Structure 1
Amino acid sequence: MSNSTSYKAGKRSNKSVTFFVCFLAALAGLLFGLDIGVIAGALPFISHDFQITSHQQEWVVSSMMFGAAVGAVGSGWMNFRIGRKYSLMIGAVLFVVGSLCSAFAPDTQILLIARVLLGLAVGIASYTAPVYLSEIAPEKIRGSMISMYQLMITIGILAAYLSDTGFSYSGSWRWMLGVITIPALLLLVGVFFLPDSPRWLAARGNDDKARRVLEKLRDSSEQARNELNEIRESLKIKQSGWGLFTNNKNFRRAVYLGILLQVMQQFTGMNVIMYYAPKIFGLAGFASTSEQMWGTVIVGLVNVLATFIAIGLVDRWGRKPTLKLGFLVMAIGMGVLGTMMHIGVESTVAKYFSIAMLLMFIIGFAMSAGPLIWVLCSEIQPLKGRDFGITVSTATNWIANMIVGATFLTMLDSLGNANTFWVYAGLNVVFIFITIALIPETKNVSLEHIERNLMNGKALKNIGE
């Protein structure tokens, strides 16, 4: 009786440790979302205080993306050398330093440097946290844990919008940027209590430490031993990303597809909405700061709620049908929004209809390209080149993100409001045809089967068959 009780207690303890570990790693996703979302509300006040041009505003936004691209590229090497835990720790330190420097920036130049530091932190988090979660979580809850990370990003964006709205009444943009220091400090403290990844420890030859970590995280010693044996078996396959890329044309196809997927995600126009939401609400006829800020909060809330649609559909409908529907919804939303700006949004009905189209676009993104592009990028890369392939696709995401952030206001000035939104609507139509022609359906297909089809030269759209 007592042995049984002890076992059950141990089982509960192990589960609580696992969830604590995963929650702390997912906290990196919250910071990721906070730093993406916060600039939307702060930018109008920053531009007023520093008297900066539209072009300079674009650089305030996109400087973080530049840092994130650099951080993502460097994360593969850093994760290999010092492990997931200490990579997350470095990211947490950069979050703290970047947030404080942003809050106390005396001029635009210092603010740009601070935004680059935050970008480095975001790039490290966007690479390390999902990898760490996939390696630390038990197989039966791995999908939900990685989904929690994606959900935490959207919650972070919403929290940033709420914080921005609260501080907007006093115009306190420094508090908007500085308050992020609090969750950053929580992450920094929490990371000290995280174990190293058992896979990384085993790869470094520390099998005893890897076993001890697994015993803390799994239901029984036997389960921990079995998993360690599987890790040892997988490590017999030597990963050689760059060598594989230069010597194998089939692997190059997977890398190029990962690049294409991330470009598609960014050029839907979603991050234009994230970074410039108050301005877009202004274009739609909502003139007051209060209206624009609360409108931005609604954007964040819809983004969070619609992410649950993706979680429900991805394994039921599949990746490809959900992506096609999402791109169609986004094309309609952007296209009609552009048309409304072309004919004018003078009446109250026209204003609210325009915002309905904006929210329709957000639902389309959050239910499809937002989470599913990351899923596909991890599924299509063969084991021997997975680290290299995901490093390249993650860096592409941030480079494309930077380009979008750095060109939107210029497009508004040169093309006009309606034409700018029509351009993004047209791109989403193009992405429907790309999805049909190139994107594979990977639902209920093992990674090994996808890899075998890829390396045997099957057409990209058929590698999930």
Structure 2
Amino acid sequence: MLNYNTLVSVAASLAGLLFGLDIGLISGALPFITNEWSITIHQQEWIVSTMMLGATLGSISNNWLSAILGRKRSLMWGGIIFALGTLGCTFASNIEVMLVFRVVQGFAIGIASFAAPLYLSEMSDKSVRGRRIATYQLMVTVGILLAFLSDTWFAQTGNWRMMFAVLLIPTAILVVSVYFIPRSPRWLASRGYMQEAQQVLLTLRMDERAASTEFQEIIASLKVKQSGFALFKANKNFRRSVGLGIALQFMQQFTGMNILMYYAPKIFEMAGFTSNMQQMFGTVLVGVAFVAATFIAIAMADSWGRKPALKIGFTVMGLGMFCLGLLLKSVLTGHAPVYFSYLAVVTAIVCICGYAMSAAPMVWILCSEVQPLKGRDFGIACSTTMNWISNMVLGATFLTLLNGIGTAQTFWLYAVFNFIFVAVTVLFVPETKGVTLESIEANLMAGKELRYIGLSQQEQEGLKSQHAHS
């Protein structure tokens, strides 16, 4: 019999699969859409970035959608809307129709990317919470890889419409799977369904004492009078956690890693690989590396922690982007040795590995952990919206930056961002592994420094003792 916690984790994580499939799909489909419709560079950027526009709108809407319908039903509606957008893209007759349904697809992804990590954080025990949310990110990377493989298969005939159509299969699996999982106990309690909330906790924890203790912590956190935007206006501590979430999502996107996903064939073309099959093979390698490195993140999330992973990851990405800029600059001059092209591919893979083991999962984990219960929907809506706005800016400006400031300078710009993010992580980002959501909330609302809100009471006492003796 399938463990109930496993069913919850797998079903919710399928939303990440859709997210990844949509990211990966467009890199393979774009060259064939460009050839068929003879579209410009700016129109290519909009095919990529209108999905993020829709996702931004979905994230904003899900602030009230998730609060009213709950996380489970939000995921189901996200799947249904994604299916409608996918059908529209599959049968699009021109670029205008394509852009409209890319927005619809994005709207659904915005809902799912909001609801899935939130749902997993509220359903998981503190000892496995990071691993569960990292599993969502693993499904994102698996989706990207599957899309790259699918794109490579259909690239033989140039059938970009089938690249879109195959997304309907995992969408149907998501909707059916989510139907069978319970609603979040924290959402149930916030809506007054106390008995059902207790029953769900007991089913998940399989320990009456643990479930009762957790339920009492939830009840205590609900005593905050304001919620949502009212809490944001009234409470400076909540404003700090919202600001942290927004900053984290900005940092995740401006690593520049998603441009390696959206424009992978273009980047490999610049590296000297001119045929479609060469470019798609390189793209598949990137997808394989993304999946493999995400397993590192799953192992690290609840053992080593969130903060060390971010510091290492940003450093690796900064160095990688700097080296990638150098290599591409040399290749494009026409005077570089042949092995520079292969070095560029290896460097891109190193960058992706740094991202997959750090910012990709850890930011989603932290953003779902640092918000108080009465402001969780609003706080995560703000951070997820920043994710998609930043994502849209990246997708809509990459080709323009290449033509404007140059290839090497574009990648060096992202390298500088990554080095800045190392310092921000050290100064402001908390370590939250092994701490209950309610403990993090208590520390936040007590005015603790952001980088210390994940500390247990014992660790805080130890820190005070160190300061007293220094």
Scaled by the length of structure 2, the TM-score of the pair is 0.89
Shift of 1:42: 0.4
**Are 1:293 and 2:280 matched, yes or no?**
yes
Instruction: Letter of the 1:359 partner, please give it.
Output: I
Task: Specify which of 252, 260, 264 is matched with residue 277 of structure 1.
Answer: 264
Task: Specify which of 134, 144, 153 is matched with residue 121 of structure 2.
Answer: 134
Contact 1:37–1:275 (Cα < 8 Å) also in 2: yes
Contact 2:289–2:349 (Cα < 8 Å) also in 1: yes
Pick closer, same or farther for the CA change 1:454–1:428 going to 2, 3 Å.
Answer: same
Partner of 1:177: 164
Contact 2:121–2:368 (Cα < 8 Å) also in 1: no
Partner of 2:356: 366
Partner of 1:263: 250
Partner of 2:425: 435
Contact 1:68–1:124 (Cα < 8 Å) also in 2: yes
- For residues 126-154 of structure 1, the C-alpha deviation after alignment (integer angstroms, 9 at most, x for no partner) is 11112222334455554433222121111
Pick closer, same or farther for the CA change 1:374–1:455 going to 2, 3 Å.
Answer: same
Question: 1: distance between equivalents of 2:42 and 2:431?
Answer: 41
**Are 1:38 and 2:25 matched, yes or no?**
yes
Pick closer, same or farther for the CA change 1:156–1:344 going to 2, 3 Å.
Answer: same
Pick closer, same or farther for the CA change 1:190–1:419 going to 2, 3 Å.
Answer: same
Contact 1:239–1:383 (Cα < 8 Å) also in 2: no
Partner of 2:289: 302
Instruction: Letter of the 1:423 partner, please give it.
Output: L
Taking only the aligned residue pairs, the percentage that are identical comes to 54
Could you say what the CA RMSD is over the residues aligned between the two structures, in angstroms? 2.4
Higher mean C-alpha deviation, range 170-179 or range 16-25: 16-25
Partner of 1:70: 57
Shift of 1:363: 1.2
Pick closer, same or farther for the CA change 1:362–1:101 going to 2, 3 Å.
Answer: same
- For residues 182-234 of structure 1, the C-alpha deviation after alignment (integer angstroms, 9 at most, x for no partner) is 11112223333333334333333334444555565553777766665554454
Pick closer, same or farther for the CA change 1:142–1:267 going to 2, 3 Å.
Answer: closer
**Are 1:200 and 2:187 matched, yes or no?**
yes
Contact 2:130–2:302 (Cα < 8 Å) also in 1: no
Question: 2: distance between equivalents of 1:215 and 1:253?
Answer: 33
Contact 2:66–2:377 (Cα < 8 Å) also in 1: no
Instruction: Letter of the 1:277 partner, please give it.
Output: A
Pick closer, same or farther for the CA change 1:309–1:141 going to 2, 3 Å.
Answer: closer
Instruction: Letter of the 2:450 partner, please give it.
Output: L
**Are 1:150 and 2:140 matched, yes or no?**
no
Contact 2:127–2:433 (Cα < 8 Å) also in 1: no
Pick closer, same or farther for the CA change 1:155–1:139 going to 2, 3 Å.
Answer: same
Higher mean C-alpha deviation, range 370-379 or range 313-322: 313-322
Pick closer, same or farther for the CA change 1:408–1:74 going to 2, 3 Å.
Answer: same
Shift of 1:417: 1.2
Shift of 1:355: 1.0
Scaled by the length of structure 1, the TM-score of the pair is 0.90
Partner of 2:457: none
Partner of 1:401, secondary structure, is: helix
Partner of 2:134, secondary structure, is: helix
Partner of 2:325: 338
**Are 1:351 and 2:311 matched, yes or no?**
no
Instruction: Letter of the 1:171 partner, please give it.
Output: G
Contact 2:126–2:435 (Cα < 8 Å) also in 1: no
Partner of 2:463: none
Question: 1: distance between equivalents of 2:218 and 2:381?
Answer: 22
Shift of 1:26: 1.4
Partner of 2:411: 421
Question: 2: distance between equivalents of 1:205 and 1:117?
Answer: 33
Higher mean C-alpha deviation, range 445-454 or range 385-394: 445-454
Pick closer, same or farther for the CA change 1:141–1:261 going to 2, 3 Å.
Answer: closer
Gaps of 5+ in 1: 1-12
- For residues 63-110 of structure 1, the C-alpha deviation after alignment (integer angstroms, 9 at most, x for no partner) is 010111111111121112122222112111111111111111001011
Instruction: Letter of the 1:42 partner, please give it.
Output: A
Shift of 1:257: 1.9
Pick closer, same or farther for the CA change 1:201–1:384 going to 2, 3 Å.
Answer: closer
Partner of 1:94: 81
Contact 2:129–2:302 (Cα < 8 Å) also in 1: no
Partner of 1:61: 48
Shift of 1:173: 0.4
- For residues 267-300 of structure 1, the C-alpha deviation after alignment (integer angstroms, 9 at most, x for no partner) is 1101111100010000111111001001111101
Shift of 1:316: 4.0
Contact 1:326–1:369 (Cα < 8 Å) also in 2: yes
Question: 2: distance between equivalents of 1:448 and 1:201?
Answer: 16
Gaps of 5+ in 2: 455-459, 461-470
Contact 1:197–1:210 (Cα < 8 Å) also in 2: yes
Task: Specify which of 378, 399, 402 is matched with residue 409 of structure 1.
Answer: 399
Aligned residues: 452
Contact 1:334–1:421 (Cα < 8 Å) also in 2: yes
Shift of 1:408: 0.2
Partner of 1:3: none
Question: 2: distance between equivalents of 1:365 and 1:248?
Answer: 33
Higher mean C-alpha deviation, range 326-335 or range 233-242: 233-242
Instruction: Letter of the 2:295 partner, please give it.
Output: F
Partner of 1:162: 149
Shift of 1:397: 0.5
Question: 2: distance between equivalents of 1:22 and 1:454?
Answer: 27
**Are 1:109 and 2:96 matched, yes or no?**
yes
Higher mean C-alpha deviation, range 292-301 or range 204-213: 204-213
Question: 2: distance between equivalents of 1:148 and 1:58?
Answer: 30
Pick closer, same or farther for the CA change 1:327–1:231 going to 2, 3 Å.
Answer: closer
Contact 1:92–1:185 (Cα < 8 Å) also in 2: yes
